[in-house]
Amino acid sequence: MGLKAFHLVFIAVSIALCAFVAAWGLREWMATRSGMPLALGAIFFLSGITLVGYGVHVVRKLRNVP
């Protein structure tokens, strides 16, 4: 596996982890109505969106790299 493929896989796994933690935080907030899980979920949701943008940037930048 080359560096390009590894980087894209790592970004995809990170996005999935962010989505999982964001969903967990939202579910925990709905059960407890505590502010900390909601804040954690929001942080990871925004991190996931940022990683999607970063992934698009990497794909465009590395398009011509074999």
pLDDT for 41 equals: 97
Q: What is the pTM of this model?
A: 0.90
pLDDT at 53: 98
| Res 8: pLDDT | 94
Give, in order, the Cα–Cα distances in Å from 63 to each of 2, 8, 13, 24, 59: 14, 12, 20, 34, 6
Nearest CA to 55 out of 20, 5, 21 is that of 5
Structure tokens at 45: 């949701």
| CA pair distance 27, 6, nearest whole angstrom | 31
State the CB neighbour count (10 A cutoff) for residue 62: 14
Q: What is the pLDDT along the chain (66 residues), one digit of tens a residue?
A: 888 899 999 999 999 999 999 999 999 999 999 999 999 999 999 999 999 999 999 999 999 887
